[in-house]
Amino acid sequence: MLPLTDRPGWRAAGEISLLTRPAWEQTLDHLARSDEETCHLELSAVTFVDVAGVSALAMTAQGLSQGRRIVLEEPPATLRRVLDMFWPDLLSVEVMGR
């Protein structure tokens, strides 16, 4: 995970799974503790996200204060499908691209 240089947020690459989940959850924790209204997760280089990784994202989004949101930029299609299936009313997550 690398911080974005042109907007608040992080860039991820590769897989988000059992082996990488600690880094993913640490990044989500940083995102949740920031005071930015909108945080970006640039995910165009992510090839796979397991259900636990999507769940961690959803739990982080649910814990954001009102008015804050997470913008997912070009996430894998499976991430969007899992969000739509299990968290269809999660208004604090916006998906852009793919």
Residues 5-34: tens digit of each pLDDT: 999 999 999 999 999 999 999 999 999 999
Return the pLDDT at 98: 62
Pairing label, strands 2-3, 9-16: antiparallel
Return the pLDDT at 1: 84
Return the pLDDT at 51: 94
Residues 38-82: tens digit of each pLDDT: 999 999 999 999 999 999 999 999 999 999 999 999 999 999 999
> How many contiguous H segments (helices) and E segments (strands) does the chain have?
3, 5
Distance, in Å, from the CA atom of 72 to the CA atom of 96, rounded to the nearest integer, reads 6
Q: What is the pTM of this model?
A: 0.93
What is residue 97's DSSP assignment?
-
Rg for the chain (alpha carbons), in Å?
12
